[in-house]
Structure 1
Amino acid sequence: MARFIFITGGVVSSLGKGLASAAMGALLQARGYSVRLRKLDPYLNVDPGTMSPFEHGEVFVTDDGAETDLDLGHYERFTGVSARQTDSISSGRIYSNVLEKERRGDYLGKTIQVIPHVTNEIKDFISIGEDEVDFMLCEIGGTVGDIEGLPFFEAIRQFAQDKPRGQCIFMHLTLLPYIKASGELKTKPTQHSVKELRSIGLAPDILVCRGEGAIPQKEREKLALFCNVRPDAVIAAPDLASIYEAPLAYHREGLDQAVLDAFQISPAPRPNLSRWEDVYDRIHRTDGEVKVAIVGKYTQLEDAYKSIAEALTHGGMANRVKVKAEWIDAEIFDREDVAPHLEGFHAILVPGGFGERGTEGKIKAAQFARERKVPYLGICLGMQMAVIEAARNLAGLEKAGSEEFDHEAGKKRFEPVVYHLKEWVQGNQKVKRKASDAKGGTMRLGAYDAVLKGGSKVAEIYGSTAIDERHRHRYEVDIAYKDKLEQSGLAFSGMSPDGRLPEIVEVKDHPWFIGVQFHPELKSKPFAPHPLFADFVKAAVENSRLV
Structure 2
Amino acid sequence: MARYVFITGGVVSSLGKGIASAALGALLQARGYRVRLRKLDPYLNVDPGTMSPTQHGEVFVTDDGAETDLDLGHYERFTGRSAVKADNITTGRIYKNIIDKERRGDYLGATVQVIPHVTNEIKNFVIDGNEDFDFVLCEIGGTVGDIEAMPFVEAIRQLGNDLPRNTAVYVHLTLMPFIAAAGELKTKPTQHSVKELQAMGIAPDILLVRADRPIPVEERRKLSLFCNVRASAVIQALDVASIYDVPMAYHKEGLDTEVLAAFGIDPAPHPRMQAWEEVSERIHNPEGEVTIAIVGKYTGLKDAYKSLIEALYHGGLANRVRVKLEWIESEVFEQEDPSPWLEKVHGILVPGGFGERGAEGKILAARFARERKVPYFGICFGMQMAVIEAARNLAGIDKASSSEFGPTSEPVVGVMTEWLRGNELEKRTASGDLGGTMRLGAYPARLKHGSLIEKVYGSADISERHRHRYEVNIDYRERLEACGLDFAGMSPDGVLPETVEYPDHPWFIGVQYHPELKSRPLDPHPLFASFIEAALEQSRLV
With normalisation by structure 2, the TM-score equals 0.99
Is the Cα contact below 8 Å between 1:58 and 1:305 reproduced in 2?
A: yes
Alpha-carbon distance in 2 for matches of 1:11, 1:30: 31
2:318 matches 1:323: no
Moved more, 265-274 or 531-540: 265-274
Once residues 408 and 414 of structure 2 are traced to their aligned partners in structure 1, the CA distance between those partners, rounded to angstroms, is 13
Superposed CA offset, 1:311-369 (max 9, x none) = 00000000000000111000001111111111100000000000000000000000000
1:427 to partner: Cα distance: 2.0
Is the partner of 2:261 in helix, strand or coil? Answer: helix
Matches within 5 A, 1:147-186: 147-186=147-186
What SS does the aligned partner of 2:20 have?
A: helix
8 Å CA contact 2:451, 2:503 repeated in 1: no
Rounded Cα–Cα distance in structure 1 between residues aligned with 2:306 and 2:130:
29
For residues 181-237 of structure 1, the C-alpha deviation after alignment (integer angstroms, 9 at most, x for no partner) is: 111110000000000000000010000000102211100111011111111111111
The equivalent of 2:8 in structure 1 is 8
Q: Where does the alignment leave 5 or more consecutive residues of structure 1 unmatched?
A: 407-411
Q: Provide the rounded CA distance (Å) in 1 between the counterparts of 2:269 and 2:278.
A: 21
Q: Does 2:478 match 1:483?
A: yes
Counterpart CA distance in 2 for 1:49 and 1:132 is 29
Please tell me whether residue 272 in structure 1 is matched to residue 272 in structure 2: yes
Q: 2:8, 2:140 within 8 Å by CA — same for their partners in 1?
A: yes
**Aligned position for 1:409:** none
| Identity among equivalent pairs (%) | 70
CA distance in 2, matches of 1:346, 1:28: 39
Moved over 6 A (4+): none
2:452–2:503: 8 Å Cα contact kept in structure 1? Answer: no
Aligned pairs (5 A) from 1:7-406: 7-406=7-406
Is the CA contact (8 Å cut-off) linking 2:331 and 2:361 kept in structure 1? yes
Contact 1:402 1:414 (C-alpha < 8 Å) held by counterparts: no
Letter aligned with residue 384 of structure 2: Q
SS of 1:55 mapped into structure 2: helix
Q: Is the 8 A contact 1:295 1:329 kept in 2?
A: yes
Partner-residue secondary structure (3-state), 1:458: helix
* Aligned-residue offset at 1:508: 2.4
Distance in structure 1 (CA, Å) of the matches to 2:194 and 2:409 = 59
| Aligned partner of 1:443 among 438, 443, 455 | 438
Letter matched to residue 302 of structure 2: E
Instruction: Return the alpha-carbon distance in structure 1 between the equivalents of residues 474 and 44 of structure 2.
Output: 39
Aligned 8 A contact 1:213 1:237 in 2: no
Deviation per CA, 1:412-451: give whole Å up to 9, x if none: 3451110001100112210011111110000000000000
- Give 1:403 deviation, angstroms: 0.4
Counterpart position of 2:529: 534
Kindly provide the amino acid, as one letter, of the partner of residue 339 in structure 1: S
Structure-2 separation of matches of 1:344 and 1:36: 44
- RMSD over aligned CA atoms reads 0.6
Q: Quote the Cα distance in structure 2 between the aligned partners of 1:528 and 1:462.
A: 13
Q: For residue 330 of structure 2, what is the amino acid of its counterpart?
A: A
Q: Deviations over 1:241-264 (max 9, x none)?
A: 100000000000000000000000
1:279 & 1:155 partners in 2: Cα distance?
38
Q: Which position in structure 2 is the counterpart of 1:415? A: 410
Q: Secondary structure at the match of 2:111?
A: coil
Letter in 2 for 1:469: E
Deviation digits for residues 127-169 of structure 1 (CA, Å, limit 9, x no counterpart)? 1221111000000000101000110001111111101111000
Kindly indicate whether the alpha-carbon contact (under 8 Å) linking 1:355 and 1:405 is maintained by their aligned counterparts in 2.
yes
State how far apart, in whole Å, the 2-side matches of 1:427 and 1:37 are.
28
Secondary structure of residue in 2 paired with 1:247: helix
Q: What is the one-letter code of the residue matched to 1:260?
A: L
Q: What stretches of structure 2 of length at least 5 have no aligned partner?
A: none
